[in-house]
Chain A
């Protein structure tokens, strides 16, 4: 029975091995210092045990050299741990430019996942191995956290904003997906599975499981038309509203004089709180769509607005979102 006990989770992403390496390094340092202290304590306790009631050992006031030694050595080791950890952290939260986007909505107590192709899943996530997968995540209610131990990845999923994380699976298999931020009654049942698949199998899965006839962007377009967004946001800028073509990833000049990069969060905010960041040259005419669209629909609208970059190749074809979507469509 004991031989079956694992002490390391599966190594199934490009990050997993790197995180484990740091874990082994800090473990080695810790074991060394633990043993050092314990051996010294034990040795001193035996060697200098009280042999007579009348012992009056000579006082020792201290030693500046020793104090410096045991300040500087932990300092150097601490900085090494910091540097190593920081490099990993930077990699973990800087997704590669290429790769695919997957949209995640957490709610009490389930994970709702949308693929750009239109596939939707609950508490399951199918991904191909060998492709960086960027997760764009938000919550409908409280804070959740998307945790896949086999990938050594975890990111909080917050209401009211998008957070992102990425991983690249390296080994096909079925892995645990946990909610790691306490979220109420069924927190421990807000779990699921990540299926990492060979790219061919993933394509098969996409086609086999596809119930949606529309991609996310197409579903977003449908919604865009239903809500009448196009009345003000047409291909060419109108007096009432700016054009959304080529918007995503571009710097937008605001009424306040500041510039902001139009990312997913900015688009989401502008739908829900249009007056929060007005574009220079436009008045606060747009009504809020709060309550009319839920988080999943918002993600579809965002996906559609991103896809508008593709149709205006002349101006903004270099924007990141557009490229990603194009790749998916070409697949």
Chain B
């Protein structure tokens, strides 16, 4: 961190949130939002490793066209569990439950979330949902795909669908509780002077995300419950043999699960806004447009579920409505990308690790977003639907976009969260390895997808092999890239230099408190007198 402005370091306070209590009980019964964020961080990291191991096995199997490493049933369970774990237990909670939990109260000048005990409850609910999923693995796994399409899931699958449904159902409540907590906190607990349009865009993004969590999650919970009722009690809802409608399930499922994509990407967009402003020393270009584009995405996101169903037999008219709305939702994302780019114009740009991740995000998210247009265009989607083109597209969004954003956040706020500095050299190296590995893994999948390689295939025709070899090679590089941070970040906890309060010379209330923050964040509640990202007034702020 040689090229950052040196900031006078606060003396290590005695009562920071790490040292405020010792022993397991002080952690497991904590209502401190910062400690709960750490509990989430530990748990989702474990899930990320597990989900990643499933991915490694999938990629190894696909190295050859024949099914030679695992059986078809095992393969089907691997991609199902990979999807389930990564989506419900890593991506959805990743930035909101860890970074949002830790930062939102500090960013808005509050001492905690509105409902600290509900916050702890949501972690326990999440943990119980997670344990249920572990139990699914012990009971032989589940093979429906994370999408649970009926009547396969409700009638035909012989695996532990019921238990998985319970696990996802429970986990959903953790999301609902977190969303509720954020909405109330952002409405009611902003410091004096912190008007809506002075809020950091990270907070705006989380506000939009929380709305989706609150409105969407109950729908998926009900849907999963209906699958459970049909499977266990034979109530005919989705299976035509019982008088149900299998396509109804798809409508209900995607009504939540398409907005869920925005639960995963919006918080990441919030992170990018914070980081790009800091390392360009500029306020965000078009603050209002970036803020409202988050809300536009949240609202439009609820109206486009049918674009997952262009070949399901829905009417041509329905297809057209969903297609036109899908094209519209692309616009706020494009607006954000242009505004971030414009933020760099005439800035003072430096290249610390979080900013490297922003560059990675801009490249990968742009590819992910643009390839969404291929899928939104009706006649073209018919061909690429359910192929590797879709697999590549959503990995560019959810890994390229969401995880790049998550890693940017982790590296940006790590000194704040832990009070330690990590090695810039190692961190930059791993960011570059991740970027290269990611593209090598997923870019070939666009090509093989357009050639017609269907997703969820255990064996495949020989002519697709070259693309799978490239993809598996990329995945090994990506795995190394993801392993590095685990080492240098943990190493920094023990051997890292102590972090000053504001190592990046960044704006925002979280940088005005010591690193790590004291138990109650602020001794006196701050009064906000300026807009967000007022980097031109930097000196006055430096203590």
Residues of A near any B CB (own CB < 8 A) = 1, 5-9, 15, 18-19, 22-23, 26-27, 29-30, 33-34, 37-38, 40-41, 44-45, 48-51, 53-63, 66-67, 70-71, 74-75, 78-79, 81-82, 84-94, 108, 141-143, 145, 147, 149-150, 152-156, 158-161, 163, 176, 178-189
Contacts and interface: CB of A to CB of B under 8 A. Distances in A.
Given A90-B316, A145-B386, A152-B382, 18 more contacts: A7-B450, A23-B374, A48-B347, A48-B349, A54-B5, A55-B348, A57-B282, A74-B334, A78-B331, A79-B327, A86-B379, A143-B246, A159-B239, A176-B452, A180-B385, A180-B387, A182-B76, A184-B143
Contacts of B513: none
A78 B374 CA distance: 10
Interface in B333-380: 334-335, 337-339, 341-342, 344-351, 359, 362-363, 366-367, 370-371, 373-374, 376-380
B383 A149 contact: yes
Q: Which 7 A-B pairs have the closest CB atoms?
A: A88-B379, A149-B452, A160-B240, A85-B377, A78-B327, A89-B378, A62-B286
Contacts of B339: 62, 67
B466 A41 contact: no
Most buried by B among A58, A66, A75, A93: A93
Nearest to B245: A160
Given A78-B373, A81-B373, A160 B241 contact: yes
Contacts of A93: 316
B148 to A, nearest CB: 10
A96 B191 CA distance: 66
Contacts of B149: 142-143, 181-182
B281 interface: yes
B451 A41 contact: no
Contacts of A56: 281, 348, 535-536, 538-539
B45 interface: no
Q: Is the interface of B mostly helix, strand, loop or mixed?
A: helix
A184 B457 CA distance: 10
A142 B460 contact: no
24 contacts: A7-B450, A18-B379, A30-B367, A49-B351, A56-B281, A62-B342, A66-B286, A75-B328, A78-B373, A79-B327, A81-B377, A82-B323, A85-B323, A87-B379, A89-B319, A89-B378, A143-B152, A152-B383, A154-B382, A154-B383, A160-B245, A180-B454, A187-B72, A188-B457
Contact of A188 (B285, B335, B348, B459): B459
Contacts, number: 295
Interface string B303-317: 000000011110010
B473 interface: no
Contact of A67 (B72, B335, B348, B382): B335
Interface string B452-474: 10111111110100100000000
B111 interface: no
A93 B310 CA distance: 11
Given A41-B341, A85-B377, A153 B240 contact: no
A149 B382 CA distance: 10
B381 interface: yes
B366 A37 contact: yes
A159 B3 contact: no
Nearest to A162: B313
Contacts of B376: 78, 81-82, 85
A29 B374 CA distance: 11
Interface residues of B, number: 98
A263 B336 CA distance: 49
B332 to A, nearest CB: 9
Contacts of B377: 22, 26, 81-82, 84-85
Contacts of A79: 324, 327
Contact of A53 (B3, B280, B341, B461): B3
A22 B324 contact: no
A149 B383 CA distance: 7
B304 to A, nearest CB: 12
Contact of B156 (A26, A67, A142): A142
A255 B75 CA distance: 51
B157 interface: yes
Contact of A86 (B323, B459, B463): B323
B422 to A, nearest CB: 21
B287 interface: yes
A184 to B, nearest CB: 6
Contact of B316 (A89, A150, A183, A189): A89
A38 B363 contact: yes
A243 B450 CA distance: 49
Contact of B313 (A34, A41, A163): A163
B247 interface: yes
A159 B246 contact: yes
Contact of B341 (A6, A40, A58): A40
A155 B461 contact: no
Given A56-B535, A86-B379, A184-B152, A155 B313 contact: yes
Given A149-B451, A159-B240, A44 B379 contact: no
Given A56-B538, A59-B535, A89-B310, A189 B459 contact: yes
